[in-house]
C-alpha cells in the first residue's frame, strides 16, 4: 500500500503542463505515413531497428507545419524532447534536439508524460533494480545514491521490488532482440526525463501547484471578465524598472558558484552593490552580518562597541528559545546594565528603571525599551560618522565589481558536471557559533577594563618606588 | 503448508503482473494489434483469478488468531507483497483503459506511434498464461468491445482493494524486508543467453561496460591463454634442450 497524499490540491493542474495535450496531437500528426516525418532505420552491430528520425528532418517538418523559421522549429523540437515524447539515441542524457543527422525515436504512449499519472518511486526502484541486474551491480553514481535512498525509504516493499524486477527482466527477455533493445532505450529515456541526472535541467520542474485545470474550457460570465480585469490592473501596477547592473555570472544558467561565494557572509571584500546598500538606512546596515562586522570594527576604534554588543544580545533574547530567555537576560544585566558592570551602556534613568523592574520577571521583549534607545543612539550619532569614517571608505575602495560571464560551451558543460551541493546549514551554523565564541573570547575593549589595568600598573609602579 | 502455497501463488501473481506491464507498454505503438488486445484481456482475467485466490487464502490465514508471532510477521510480509502487486495491477489496468480508448485499431486516420517495436508480444503473453502457444479466437472488434469489460473489472479491483484495506489490519510500514540491497543480483547470473557482450544498446553502451556474463568469459579466456603460453614455454624448452 502506498501512503497517498490525501491533499491532492489539484496536483494534476500545473502551470506549464497545459501544453501536453497539444504536443500529443502534434506527435500523432507526425506519424502520418504520407505527411508525417520521414523515418529511417538505425543500424546497430547485428540488428537493425526501424523508425529512427534525424534531427534535421524533425526540425524541417515542424518549421513547415507551423510556418516558422528553423531556429524556432528547433526550439519547439527541443521542448518535445525535454518532455519525453521523442528521445535521442545517442547522448541520451542531453535532452535537446540537434538539427543535424543525429537520430531520435518516438516514445511509446505508456511512457508519455501525462498529467494524471504521477511518477511513482516504486516504479523507479523496480527500474533501478532491473538496471542493477543488467549492469551486474555497476550503477552510475546518482543512480546508486537513489538506489540506496529508496532501499531505506521503501524498505517495507523491498521484497516486492526485487521480485517484480526479476520477473520483469525475465519477461523482457521473451521478446525478440530488436524489441528488447528498443524497450531498454525507452525505459531509460523515460527515467532520464523524470529522474534527471545531476547537472541537467529538467522540463518536469513544474513549479507551484494550481487549483484549476488549465485545459478546462471556461464559460465567459461576468465573474470571468471581472477576474481578468483585476489581473491586468495588477499587472499594470507592478513596477517595471529593469536594472542593468552586472551581478556577475548567473549561477542558475552557468552553474558557476562564484555568485554565492561573492555574497557569502564571511567574505573580505563585499560587492559594490552590497556596500552601497549599507548607506540606504541604518536598518539595512544592521541586517547584513557583514555590515555589522564593519560597524563593529569602527565602534571598537571609538571605544563604544558595547552598544552594538548590547543590541545583538537583545536580538538573541528576542529570537532565541524560550528556555534560555531567563539566563540570557541575567547575563545581559550583569554585563551591561548593573552598576559597575564591565560594559556599561549609557541609557537614561527612566528606561533603566523600567528595564530593571521588568527583569524581575523576564520575558522575550523585556529589553525592548533599552534596545530601542541604544538603536536610536547609534543611528543618530554613530551611523553618520561611520559612513564618513576611513573604515567605510576602505570598504568602498575594496569593493568588487563582478563581471558578466563569458564561458564557452565546453566550459558550461564542465561547470554542469562539477555541480556539487553547498555546505549544509548545520555546518554553517556551527561555523557561525565558533566565530561568535572567538569574538567573545578575544575580550571586549572597554574603558573600565583598560582604566583598571592602567590603575593597577600605576599602583605597582608606585608600590615599587 | 499454508505458507508454501501462498508463496507459489504470489509468485504466479507477480509473474502475471510483470507480463501485463510489458503488454500495456506495447499499447499504442507499432507492435499493437488485435492479438495484443486479446492477450491483454486473457492476462487480465488470469491476474484477477489469481488475485481472488490469493486474497481468500491470505485473509483466512491472517484472521486466524492462533498463529505464532513469527508466522504472523511472515504473513504480514506476504500481505504487503500481495497488496503492492494489486496496486501495480490496478494502475496498469487503468492505463490500458485510457490507452485503449486513445488508440482504437480500426480507425484508418489514426496512426499508431512508430516506436521501433515491430515484433509480436506472443511470447510474453504465453509466459503470463503459462502455456506454450497462444491461441487467438476473439472477434475482430475486440479493441472496442473489451473496453466495457475493462471498466467493470477496474471497478471490481478497486472495490477489492478497499475491502482489503478495511478488513485486514496490517501496518505495511512495519514490515521488514528479507532481501537486502543488491539481492536481485544473486540469482540471475545464469539468465544470459545471447548477449555475450558483442551487441550493445544504442551504440554507446560499450563505453559503459560490457554485459556481466562476458566477465566470466573473460576470465575463462585468460585461463586458456595462460595454459597455451605455458605449453609453448615447455615446448620451447624441450626444443632448446634437444638441439
| Angstrom distance (rounded) from CA B229 to CA A345 | 91
| Angstrom distance (rounded) from CA B36 to CA B19 | 12
Question: In this structure, what are the phi and psi dihedrals at residue A201, rounded to the nearest 5 degrees?
Answer: -85, 135
Tens-binned pLDDT, residue by residue, of chain A (465 aa) = 454 443 444 455 555 567 888 899 999 999 888 888 888 888 888 888 888 999 999 999 999 999 999 999 999 999 999 999 999 998 888 888 988 889 999 999 999 987 677 788 999 999 999 999 998 888 888 899 999 999 999 888 899 999 999 999 999 998 888 899 999 999 999 999 999 888 777 777 666 666 666 667 788 899 999 999 999 999 999 888 887 777 888 888 888 888 888 888 778 888 888 999 999 999 999 999 899 999 999 999 999 999 999 999 999 999 999 999 999 999 999 999 988 888 889 889 999 999 999 999 999 999 999 999 999 999 999 999 999 999 999 999 998 888 888 888 888 888 888 888 878 889 988 988 888 888 777 765 555 555 556 666 666 666 665
Question: In this structure, what are the phi and psi dihedrals at residue A362, rounded to the nearest 5 degrees?
Answer: -70, 140
Residue B169 has pLDDT above 60, yes or no: yes
Return the axis-axis angle of helices A305-319 and A325-332, rounded to nearest 10°. Answer: 170
Average pLDDT for residues B216-226, to the nearest whole number? 83
| Angstrom distance (rounded) from CA A228 to CA A221 | 11
| Angstrom distance (rounded) from CA A284 to CA A270 | 15
- Identify the weakest region by mean pLDDT among A138-152, A227-241, B75-89, B170-184: B170-184
| Angstrom distance (rounded) from CA A393 to CA A386 | 9
- Going by the DSSP 8-state scheme, the letter that residue A380 receives in this structure is I
Q: For position B201, what pLDDT does the model report?
A: 40
| Angstrom distance (rounded) from CA A185 to CA A237 | 50
Residue B188 has pLDDT above 70, yes or no: no
Question: What CA–CA distances, in Å, run from B144 to A85, B28, B41?
Answer: 26, 14, 12
- Measured between beta carbons, the chain B residues lying within 8 angstroms of A166 are 184, 187-188
- Locate all alpha helices (DSSP H) within A211-304, ordered by sequence: 222-237, 251-254, 258-262, 272-277, 282-287, 289-302
Closest CA to A401 of A224, A273, A266: A273
Question: What CA–CA distances, in Å, run from A362 to A12, A332, A333, A351, A365?
Answer: 51, 12, 11, 15, 8
Query: What is the torsion angle, in degrees rounded to the nearest 10, for the CA atoms of residue A258, residue A262, residue A268 and residue A270?
Result: 150
Of A133, A157, A172, the CB nearest to B184: A133
| Angstrom distance (rounded) from CA A170 to CA A190 | 20
- Sequence-distant (≥ 6) Cβ neighbours of residue A274 within 8 angstroms: A263, A288, A290, A291, A399
- Sequence-distant (≥ 6) Cβ neighbours of residue A195 within 8 angstroms: A119, A124, A146
This prediction's pTM: 0.64
Average pLDDT for residues B202-217, to the nearest whole number? 42
- Sequence-distant (≥ 6) Cβ neighbours of residue B101 within 8 angstroms: B147
- Measured between beta carbons, the chain B residues lying within 8 angstroms of A157 are 80, 84, 172, 177
> Nearest-CA distance from A72 to chain B in Å?
24
Task: Give the confidence band of B185 by pLDDT, cuts at 50, 70, 90.
Answer: confident
Inter-chain CB proximity B114 and A31 less than 8 Å: yes
| Angstrom distance (rounded) from CA A129 to CA A145 | 13
Inter-chain CB proximity A184 and B201 less than 8 Å: yes
Closest CA to A210 of A62, A18, A69: A18
Write b or e for each residue in A257-295: b if 16 or more Cβ atoms lie within 10 A of its Cβ, otherwise e.
eebeebbeeeeeebbbbbbebbeeebeebbebebbbebb
Domains and CATH numbers, chain A: 12-117 (1.10.10.10), 120-194 (1.10.1240.60), 257-402 (1.10.167.10)
CB atoms under 10 Å from CB of B142, counted, come to 19
CB atoms under 10 Å from CB of A428, counted, come to 14
Q: For position A9, what pLDDT does the model report?
A: 44
Q: How many CB pairs under 8 A join A and B?
A: 210
Q: What is the pLDDT of residues B11-65, one digit of tens each?
A: 999 999 999 999 999 888 888 788 888 888 999 999 999 999 988 888 888 887 7
The residue assigned the cell 528559545 is A321
Beta bridge partners of B29: B113
Question: In this structure, what are the phi and psi dihedrals at residue B8, rounded to the nearest 5 degrees?
Answer: -65, -40
| Angstrom distance (rounded) from CA B128 to CA B135 | 13
- Measured between beta carbons, the chain B residues lying within 8 angstroms of A164 are 14, 17-18, 84-85, 88
Q: For position A167, what pLDDT does the model report?
A: 92
- Measured between beta carbons, the chain A residues lying within 8 angstroms of B15 are 167, 171
- Going by the DSSP 8-state scheme, the letter that residue A323 receives in this structure is G
What's the maximum distance between 2 C-alpha atoms anywhere in chain B? 91
Task: Give the confidence band of B129 by pLDDT, cuts at 50, 70, 90.
Answer: confident
CA-based torsion, B138, B139, B144, B147: positive or negative: negative
Of B30, B123, B211, the CB nearest to A51: B30
Burial class (CB in 10 A: 0-12, 13-18, 19+), B143: buried
A132 near A53, Cβ under 8 Å?
A: no
Average pLDDT for residues B97-115, to the nearest whole number? 84
Inter-chain CB proximity A175 and B123 less than 8 Å: yes
Q: What is the β-pairing status of strands A86-88 and A48-54? A: unpaired
Question: What CA–CA distances, in Å, run from A357 to A331, A371, B134?
Answer: 16, 15, 93
Interior angle at CA A281, CA A275 and CA A284, nearest 5? 60
A55 near A73, Cβ under 8 Å?
A: no
Provide the ipTM. 0.77
Mutation choice for A interface testing from B8, B47, B120, B202 by most A CBs within 10 A: B202
Show the cell assigned to A264: 557569502
- Sequence-distant (≥ 6) Cβ neighbours of residue A81 within 8 angstroms: A87, A88, A95, A96, A97, A104
Residue B182 has pLDDT above 80, yes or no: no
| Angstrom distance (rounded) from CA B164 to CA B87 | 12
- Measured between beta carbons, the chain A residues lying within 8 angstroms of B124 are 171, 174-175
Burial class (CB in 10 A: 0-12, 13-18, 19+), A340: exposed
Average pLDDT for residues B115-132, to the nearest whole number? 84
Would you tell me which residues 59-118 of chain B have a C-beta closer than 8 angstroms to some C-beta of chain A? 77, 80-81, 83-85, 87-88, 91, 95, 99, 102-103, 110-118
CB atoms under 10 Å from CB of A90, counted, come to 12
Residue B109 has pLDDT above 80, yes or no: no
A366 near A360, Cβ under 8 Å?
A: no
Query: What is the torsion angle, in degrees rounded to the nearest 10, for the CA atoms of residue A318, residue A321, residue A325 and residue A331?
Result: -90
Of A92, A174, A186, the CB nearest to B124: A174
Beta bridge partners of A53: A104
> Nearest-CA distance from A257 to chain B in Å?
30
Q: For position A449, what pLDDT does the model report?
A: 54
Residue in chain A lying closest to B213 (CA):
A136
3-class SS string, chain B: CHHHHHHHHHHHHHHHHHHHHHHHHCCCECCCCHHHHHHHHHHHHHHHHHHHHHHHHHHHHHHCCCCCHHHHHHHHHHHHHHHHHHHHHHHHHHHHHHHHHHCCCCCCCCCCECCCCCCCCHHHHHHHHCCCCCCCCCCCCHHHHHHHHHHHHHHHHHHHHHHHHHHCCCCHHHCCCCCCCCHHHCCCHHHCCCCCCCCCHHHCHHHHCCCCHHHHHHHHHHHHHHHHHHHHHHHHHHHHHHC
A412 near A254, Cβ under 8 Å?
A: yes
Domains and CATH numbers, chain B: 1-107+116-178 (1.20.58)
Average pLDDT for residues B93-102, to the nearest whole number? 90
Amino acid at each position: 500500500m502506498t501512503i497517498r497524499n490525501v491533499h491532492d490540491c489539484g496536483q494534476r493542474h500545473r502551470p506549464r503542463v497545459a501544453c501536453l495535450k497539444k504536443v500529443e496531437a502534434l506527435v500523432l500528426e507526425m506519424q502520418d505515413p504520407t505527411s508525417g516525418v520521414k523515418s529511417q532505420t538505425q543500424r546497430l552491430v547485428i540488428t537493425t531497428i526501424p523508425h529512427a528520425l534525424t534531427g534535421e528532418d524533425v526540425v524541417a517538418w515542424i518549421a513547415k507545419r507551423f510556418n516558422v523559421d528553423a531556429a524556432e522549429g528547433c526550439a519547439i523540437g527541443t521542448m518535445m524532447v525535454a518532455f519525453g515524447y521523442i528521445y535521442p539515441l545517442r547522448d541520451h542524457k542531453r535532452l535537446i534536439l540537434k538539427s543535424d543527422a543525429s537520430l531520435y525515436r518516438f516514445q511509446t504512449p505508456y511512457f508519455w508524460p501525462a498529467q494524471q499519472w504521477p511518477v511513482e518511486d516504486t516504479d523507479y526502484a523496480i527500474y533501478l533494480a532491473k538496471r542493477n541486474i543488467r549492469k551486474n551491480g555497476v550503477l552510475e553514481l546518482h543512480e546508486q545514491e537513489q538506489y540506496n535512498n529508496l532501499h531505506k525509504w521503501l524498505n517495507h516493499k523491498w521484497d516486492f521490488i526485487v521480485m517484480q524486477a526479476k520477473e520483469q527482466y525475465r519477461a523482457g527477455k521473451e521478446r525478440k532482440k530488436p524489441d528488447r533493445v528498443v524497450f531498454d532505450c525507452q525505459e531509460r529515456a523515460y527515467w532520464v526525463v523524470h529522474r534527471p541526472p545531476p547537472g541537467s535541467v529538467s522540463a518536469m520542474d513544474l513549479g507551484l501547484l494550481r487549483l484549476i485545470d488549465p485545459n478546462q474550457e471556461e464559460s465567459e460570465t461576468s465573474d470571468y471578465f471581472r477576474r481578468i480585469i483585476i489581473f491586468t490592473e495588477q499587472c499594470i501596477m507592478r513596477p517595471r524598472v529593469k536594472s542593468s547592473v552586472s551581478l556577475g555570472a548567473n549561477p542558475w544558467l552557468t552553474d558557476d558558484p562564484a555568485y554565492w561565494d561573492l555574497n557569502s557572509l564571511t567574505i573580505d571584500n563585499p560587492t559594490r552593490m552590497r556596500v552601497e546598500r549599507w548607506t540606504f538606512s541604518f536598518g539595512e546596515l544592521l541586517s547584513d552580518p557583514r555590515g555589522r562586522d564593519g560597524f563593529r570594527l569602527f565602534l571598537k576604534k571609538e571605544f563604544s562597541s558595547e552598544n552594538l554588543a548590547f543590541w545583538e544580545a537583545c536580538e538573541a533574547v528576542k529570537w532565541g528559545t524560550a528556555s534560555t530567555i531567563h539566563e540570557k537576560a541575567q547575563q545581559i544585566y550583569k554585563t551591561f546594565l548593573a552598576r559597575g558592570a564591565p560594559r556599561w551602556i549609557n541609557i537614561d534613568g527612566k528606561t533603566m528603571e523600567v528595564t530593571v523592574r521588568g527583569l524581575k520577571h523576564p520575558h522575550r521583549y523585556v529589553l525592548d525599551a533599552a534596545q530601542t534607545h541604544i538603536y536610536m543612539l547609534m543611528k543618530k550619532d554613530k551611523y553618520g560618522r561611520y559612513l564618513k569614517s576611513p573604515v567605510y571608505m576602505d570598504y568602498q575602495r575594496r569593493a568588487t565589481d563582478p563581471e558578466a560571464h563569458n564561458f564557452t560551451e565546453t566550459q558550461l558543460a564542465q561547470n554542469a558536471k562539477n555541480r556539487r551541493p553547498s555546505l549544509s546549514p548545520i555546518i554553517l551554523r556551527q561555523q557561525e557559533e565558533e566565530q561568535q565564541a572567538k569574538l567573545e573570547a578575544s575580550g571586549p575593549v572597554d574603558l573600565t577594563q583598560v582604566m583598571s589595568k592602567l590603575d593597577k600598573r600605576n599602583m605597582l609602579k608606585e608600590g615599587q618606588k | 503448508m499454508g505458507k508454501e502455497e501462498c508463496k507459489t501463488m504470489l509468485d504466479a501473481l507477480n509473474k502475471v503482473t510483470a507480463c501485463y506491464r510489458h503488454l500495456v507498454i506495447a499499447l499504442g505503438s507499432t507492435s499493437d494489434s488485435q492479438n495484443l488486445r486479446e492477450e491483454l484481456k486473457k492476462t487480465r482475467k488470469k491476474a484477477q483469478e489469481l488475485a481472488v485466490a490469493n486474497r481468500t487464502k491470505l485473509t483466512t490465514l491472517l484472521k486466524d488468531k492462533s498463529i505464532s508471532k513469527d508466522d504472523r510477521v511472515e504473513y504480514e510480509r506476504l500481505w504487503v507483497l500481495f497488496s503492492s502487486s494489486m496496486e501495480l495491477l490496478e494502475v496498469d489496468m487503468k492505463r490500458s483503459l485510457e490507452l485503449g480508448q486513445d488508440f482504437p485499431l480500426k480507425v484508418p486516420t489514426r496512426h499508431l506511434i512508430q516506436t521501433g517495436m515491430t515484433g509480436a508480444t506472443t511470447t510474453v503473453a504465453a509466459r503470463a498464461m503459462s502455456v506454450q502457444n497462444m491461441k487467438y479466437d476473439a472477434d475482430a472488434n475486440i479493441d472496442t468491445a473489451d473496453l466495457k469489460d475493462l471498466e467493470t473489472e477496474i471497478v471490481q479491483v478497486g472495490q477489492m482493494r478497499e475491502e482489503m484495506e478495511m478488513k485486514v489490519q496490517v501496518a505495511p510500514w512495519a514490515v521488514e524486508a528479507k532481501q537486502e540491497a543488491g539481492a536481485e543480483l544473486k540469482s540471475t547470473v545464469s539468465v544470459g543467453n545471447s548477449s555475450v557482450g558483442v551487441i550493445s544498446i544504442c551504440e554507446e553502451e560499450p563505453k559503459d561496460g560490457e554485459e556481466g556474463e562476458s566477465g566470466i568469459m573473460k576470465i575463462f579466456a585468460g585461463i586458456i591463454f595462460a595454459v597455451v603460453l605455458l605449453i609453448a614455454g615447455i615446448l620451447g624448452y624441450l626444443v632448446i634442450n634437444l638441439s
